[in-house]
Structure 1
């Protein structure tokens, strides 16, 4: 990949922060968008802004075509079997909540078990906690290894005839752990249970084939894959989605309304109440086009080069603690702490140098407890980052360490 050419597509990278060129190392929170995505959304608002499905005028027809073409693009991107299996949501969180509230309420009963891990984002723990409370079910945690990975033997050890749902992240937003979803899905199905995967940190960075993985549900967000905020995707197997009840009502998801009852339209629209995210769908389509043009395998390989380079450089810093697997077994992010420097102080110091990193608990407080840390700093890399930026990041880390270790 020609990274210098790619960087020209991202207008925000020309910005300066505190008088310094922006170095954006916070993609795991939100990626930046290329001009192609911004232009596609502007074109929608400027030339065919209209609601979808119900209108018969020219603008409405054009908007509907663009909205549904985006759905077909997503279907192809993750290799879903049918377009009806692609549900637009507000994001990964909304998608997981839909599965937990609708499907979870349908299949989980008193005394059942829901299997999760301590590495989950809050969005993939709290909905299952609430489901367990509603149904008097039990949360069971897969044991983690010292390096923040899980083994298939550990997965098998917590499965039982009471297991109904396994809810697990594909890639940890803190540790960078990449879970073997295909094998975990196989184990799950052997026990007659269902698997729901948080793919927010995976889909932007590696090729995902939901049929090959054989997952029952898979959720991800547009804003982490070069697209806009406010849109996400729930993939679900059609036979399961057919059985589920919607949890929001109104708009196109209605088939017919009587005085005291109503019926729902068919998939996928029965889960898409109200005016949908039309401009956002257009932007997501453009983002997928951009990713596909570069190639997900190329993106993944480039990120592995970056994270390996950063991991080696950071490991040389005295007093640094890096959490998660080694450099050859992690996604493109590094979460760390620097002895004597609070993560928020570190992030503030880096920001003064124009470098954006994340600091805090990363919406993963159970994992912070597992790490024996209250909070951490995180640098995450993507297709628009360079080794030169990493060098500047390392230099700023050293300067920050020196400043905080100076005895006044």
Structure 2
């Protein structure tokens, strides 16, 4: 088989690493890929990023399966284009991808099908939104309606912060159209959880739970980022929590997908809030999370390609995904200045790891914002790479990460010291 993976981040490196383990896979093409996929077993980067180019490549090379990483391609309708050309592709249609591409659409969907979610209102005029703020309880959550690379959510602690956010989103248009409509949402105190899941449109099977750390600084302080680290499984996702999630969120979501006739074989990422009042859905992502994927896939014993093919054949019902009885910890190294302005082009030095856990694949560096230049890795993005470790316990996984992370060096490298310190 020949696989095409679309995207260039740490998530795509993790997917490429996982699918290449299937013995029937002959070649994995990554478009455009990164420095990690360039070095991964069976993988080859191809410099393509437009949908028509990718369709033509898949037809020419007789690609057996395409896996889409980033949300932007899904929202632009890449799945529809591939299917129209008779190509097998894993991901939601453009209509289904709107559950991620528009937060107002997603919230209305949740409300319609009884998915438990915080209260909200939608505005596309700054004046009306600011008037609504007069009667809000604070803090309040303000979300850009469209895609904003994980940075379109602000928790405003007072009316002044909320007004400034509304003005920045709607009037200053800092997200180039994605924030012209906003969702103002009730703030819930609690613990967040991420649950990736797979669906064939008839069934949904949840993956092992995860906990993302979004803020740039230790102690969950500072601005939001695309993700500074992840642990899996999430210790707050008890059996009771998971049962509530299935009954009050997952099952109503599946009902909505069926009733809306959304053409959907792919991943649903459920972003949850857990507190004393129950389990709430904050958002849908219609693809694998980043960096959740880098923490979750190393725990998956089942073959990812086999799982995807079962979903494409509408045979997920009754499928049992097997997981390693281990914990995972993933820490992201970022460029100095991220998530604001940062410089790139710095050489990355990764010391050869002689530890037993490295040789047993219990420690893995998933490359994100780095490219291969003159046989060496060079920084090219804000989130540069993820160090992921497995352990018999979360504490052991954390210790492995932080004992190996100093083997990776580049100018201005920064990482949080408290990932997994729950």
Return the TM-score normalized by structure 1.
0.29
Q: Between Structure 1 and Structure 2, whose CA radius of gyration is higher?
A: 1
Higher relative CO (Cα under 8 Å, sequence separation at least 6) belongs to: 1
Greater strand content: 2
